[in-house]
Chains A and B, each alone.
Chain A
Amino acid sequence: METESLSLGDTRPQASEENSRDTLAGVYDTLSGIYAFFRRARILTSILLTLGIMAAIAAAFGANPVTVAWAIVRNSVSRQLVLGETIMAASVLALTGLAAAIPFTARLWNIGGEGQMFAGAIASVILGLTLPENIAPVPFILILIIGGGLGGAIWGLIPGLLKAYFNVSEIVTSLMLNFVAIWASSFVVNVAFSNVYSQMRTLSIHENARFPVFWETADVDIGVFIALGAALVAWLMLARTSLGFSIRAIGSNPNAARLAGVKTRKVTVSAFVAAGFAGGLAGSVAIQEILNYTLAADFWLYNYGYLGIAVALLARLNPLAILPGAFLFSALKVGSNSLLATAGVSSSLGNVLIATFLILLLVTGVIQSRTSQAQASQ
């Protein structure tokens, strides 16, 4: 007893220090616990970091971050008309997302979604303007859809063939073809089918070639179903067919796939053609409700092709997951369109938002680097 009290007495001068050490250790434990939690909850961390960075950027440009966030939400989903706009843009983004996701699965870097979309848009517009007006709506629309898809497929075929048979970097070729397609569209808009009433646009396509609008108050046309259908077909193709198996095999280990008898060249070309077809469909959807039945000269400012890559990555290349991913990014994009009027910052902030979020997902490892996976397996 005595010794105990003595020892208690002895330690008294140090008690406060010990206490504080305990508190410090407690704080440290809590902090490292929080740190460990955020390391594990990587998606949450990415979202919070994105919000933080965006708030800082918005504040740096002299806008109130809360106003900006609220404006984006309000202008993307709150009213039927903007919701419809978001849904239509999401359809295009889902299709360009597929154009990236299919080849990415085989570790083929198709960055030409933009060009494939433009090729599809050009093909659709030309068909919609030059074919006789009196074709019935159903076949006319089918011609436009398939024609657009084929236009994109041809555009995708070029980098596919060059990669498969000449081993030319598909990154460079598919990127360059984007610009070629954009300038081709400029020719179509300004020279070949120029509109005397409104510059920067082609003439409007024939009535019978227009997609029917099934949700009148929101201006949503059947392009949505093209996106849904394409995502389903792409998922079935990748998950259930031998072509899809080959694509996945090349993606996980090209050498093993080749040794196992996968015809690498044929699969490479097929993946690019499939991607191009999806990209072409995006173009043929875009010229309908979104561009008001014309091809517009400033269409490339939308960056739908490049944002498709972001969508594909967010969905971890899963065609079905691309649909919600496309909706999210479309809402961010459409919501930020009117930021200048509502919150006093440039609408370019939408791109910053999407890119920051994805880069953080990459950094936190939510989106795995496919190259390092393959490296590890070798």
Chain B
Amino acid sequence: MSRDVVIALFASGLGLMVPILLASLGEILCEQAGVLNVGIEGTMLFGGATFAAVGAYYDNLAVAMLAGALAGAVVGVILSALYVRRGTDQIVTGLLFTIFALGVTGTLSAQLLGGKTASTLTPWKFPLIGRIPGFGEVIKQNQLFWITLLLVVAVHYLLRRTWWGLHLRAVGEQPHAASSAGLNVWRLRYSALILGNALVALGGATLVAASSGRFFTESTAGRGYIALGVVVVARWNPYGALAVSWLFGISQALRSAAEQIAFLDPVPVDFWSALPYIVTIIAVLVSRGSRYPAAVGIPWREPSTSRRK
């Protein structure tokens, strides 16, 4: 196992981490507000498809990325109308939404895109420290990687240092108490879902942008669901999500690295493909002490309107 292989493993692990991390950040926001967003996979699909569609016709990465995130925000509005306003079952709605997204994005990519590709992200070399052997290669990542790191800090700041974040967490734990204290549970959950889904969709867009620039409905391959696990293991802490997502990135990167490591070569490649999912199960099992915010998954009704069926 040569040094180059390890460096390549770390570097591509960091690259593969980005979509999962963005999805996890979005999910953290939703769950801290008391909404279990199982539709995260569908949101990623919409983000990826929108990025590919806009990128194919308008050759500007930043605009396409923003369009992807905006699609996520729109999805957030739709989902909050279902989860929050109508109070439908969050698990069931999320799953159905994912099936819906599979269908819509599949149709969209088949009808609109054909073989068109969007432009892709390119790794960006740091001017000075990029020359340090080893370290330089590891930090040679695309722009979105650095933006994502900033977003980790931003989400943490939002949740732990602002009134909005405090209110959000109150609503996720004790919506009735929060409502009695004068907070608008609905509005807080709307905002969390809109912002959260925008981040998730950005993750989906990254997935397309960091690979071939072509959108496939298979491209998410359960990464949204992996993010559901990451959030539990990271205990709803954005920095924790960073560390855990990196582990998942590495477990994905092992697939290509295993070919270059002699004693891992006989293991079939399908095992490496399945590894991230197995790691998720084990990680969730190990961190079983981790507790969901109390109100997660439970639709909230305003007490005064409950008599009106």
Interface residues, chain A, with chain B CB atoms under 8 Å away: 57, 61-62, 109, 111, 158, 162, 166-169, 171-173, 175-180, 183-184, 186-187, 190-191, 301, 303, 306-307, 309-310, 313, 340, 345-346, 348-356, 358-359, 362-363, 367, 369-372, 375
Check A187–B268 contact: CB distance below 8 A: yes
Q: Which residues of A contact B96 (CB under 8 A)?
A: 310, 313, 355, 358-359, 362
Q: Which residues of B contact A184 (CB under 8 A)?
A: 270, 274
| A375–B298 CA distance with the chains assembled, in angstroms | 8
Say if the beta carbon of B188 comes within 8 Å of chain A.
Answer: no
Check B95–A111 contact: CB distance below 8 A: yes
Closest CB of chain B to A118's CB: distance in Å?
Answer: 12
Check A306–B222 contact: CB distance below 8 A: no
Check B270–A168 contact: CB distance below 8 A: no
Say if the beta carbon of B89 comes within 8 Å of chain A.
Answer: yes
Check A183–B274 contact: CB distance below 8 A: yes
| A293–B272 CA distance with the chains assembled, in angstroms | 28
Q: Which secondary structure characterizes the binding site on chain A?
A: helix
Check B88–A369 contact: CB distance below 8 A: yes
| A345–B217 CA distance with the chains assembled, in angstroms | 16
Q: Which secondary structure characterizes the binding site on chain B?
A: helix
Residue in A closest to B111 when the chains form the complex, CB atoms: A61
A-B contact count (CB 8 A): 152
Q: Which residues of A contact B228 (CB under 8 A)?
A: 171-172, 175
A-B residue pairs in contact (CB < 8 Å), sample of 6: A57-B107, A158-B281, A172-B284, A359-B100, A362-B93, A363-B82
Q: Which residues of A contact B218 (CB under 8 A)?
A: 301
Closest 10 CB pairs of A and B: A351-B103, A348-B106, A352-B103, A355-B100, A183-B274, A346-B110, A369-B89, A187-B270, A346-B107, A355-B99
Check A176–B97 contact: CB distance below 8 A: no
Interface residues, chain B, with chain A CB atoms under 8 Å away: 38, 82, 86-93, 95-100, 102-108, 110-111, 217-218, 221-222, 225-226, 228-229, 232, 268, 270-271, 273-274, 277-278, 280-281, 284-285, 288, 297-299, 301
Q: Which residues of B contact A369 (CB under 8 A)?
A: 87-89, 92, 299
Check B95–A57 contact: CB distance below 8 A: no
User: Are A178 and B107 also in contact (CB < 8 A) when A111-B95, A363-B86 are?
Assistant: no
Check A176–B106 contact: CB distance below 8 A: no
Check B225–A176 contact: CB distance below 8 A: yes
Check B82–A359 contact: CB distance below 8 A: yes
| A309–B89 CA distance with the chains assembled, in angstroms | 13
Q: Which residues of A contact B89 (CB under 8 A)?
A: 362, 369-372
Q: Which residues of A contact B102 (CB under 8 A)?
A: 303, 348, 351
Closest CB of chain B to A309's CB: distance in Å?
Answer: 6
Closest CB of chain A to B171's CB: distance in Å?
Answer: 16
Q: Which residues of B contact A167 (CB under 8 A)?
A: 288
Across the interface, A307 reaches (CB within 8 A) one of B99, B111, B280, namely B99
Check A178–B92 contact: CB distance below 8 A: no
Q: Which residues of A contact B82 (CB under 8 A)?
A: 359, 362-363
Q: Which residues of B contact A171 (CB under 8 A)?
A: 38, 91, 228
| A355–B82 CA distance with the chains assembled, in angstroms | 14
Check B273–A176 contact: CB distance below 8 A: no
Across the interface, B297 reaches (CB within 8 A) one of A175, A306, A371, namely A371
| A340–B280 CA distance with the chains assembled, in angstroms | 38
| A340–B114 CA distance with the chains assembled, in angstroms | 13
User: Are A352 and B298 also in contact (CB < 8 A) when A176-B278, A306-B99 are?
Assistant: no
Residue in A closest to B225 when the chains form the complex, CB atoms: A175
User: Are A172 and B281 also in contact (CB < 8 A) when A62-B111, A348-B110, A349-B107 are?
Assistant: yes
Q: Which residues of B contact A358 (CB under 8 A)?
A: 96
Q: Which residues of A contact B221 (CB under 8 A)?
A: 179
Check A359–B284 contact: CB distance below 8 A: no
| A378–B108 CA distance with the chains assembled, in angstroms | 45
Check B103–A175 contact: CB distance below 8 A: no
Residue in A closest to B99 when the chains form the complex, CB atoms: A355
User: Are A109 and B91 also in contact (CB < 8 A) when A169-B284, A184-B274, A186-B270 are?
Assistant: yes
Across the interface, A180 reaches (CB within 8 A) one of B99, B278, B285, namely B278
| A100–B269 CA distance with the chains assembled, in angstroms | 31
| A190–B284 CA distance with the chains assembled, in angstroms | 30
| A40–B77 CA distance with the chains assembled, in angstroms | 26
Across the interface, B232 reaches (CB within 8 A) one of A172, A359, A367, namely A172
Residue among B86, B95, B284 with the highest chain A CB neighbour number at 10 A: B95
| A163–B95 CA distance with the chains assembled, in angstroms | 20
Check B277–A359 contact: CB distance below 8 A: no
| A351–B45 CA distance with the chains assembled, in angstroms | 14
Q: Which residues of A contact B105 (CB under 8 A)?
A: 348
Q: Which residues of B contact A362 (CB under 8 A)?
A: 82, 86, 88-89, 92-93, 96
Check A191–B298 contact: CB distance below 8 A: no
Check A349–B103 contact: CB distance below 8 A: yes
Across the interface, A354 reaches (CB within 8 A) one of B86, B93, B99, B110, namely B99
With A187-B270, A352-B100 already in contact, 14 other A-B pairs whose C-beta atoms are closer than 8 Å: A162-B281, A168-B288, A172-B225, A179-B221, A180-B277, A183-B273, A186-B273, A191-B270, A306-B95, A306-B99, A351-B103, A369-B88, A370-B89, A371-B297
Across the interface, A348 reaches (CB within 8 A) one of B86, B90, B217, namely B217
Check B99–A303 contact: CB distance below 8 A: yes
| A111–B278 CA distance with the chains assembled, in angstroms | 16
| A172–B227 CA distance with the chains assembled, in angstroms | 10
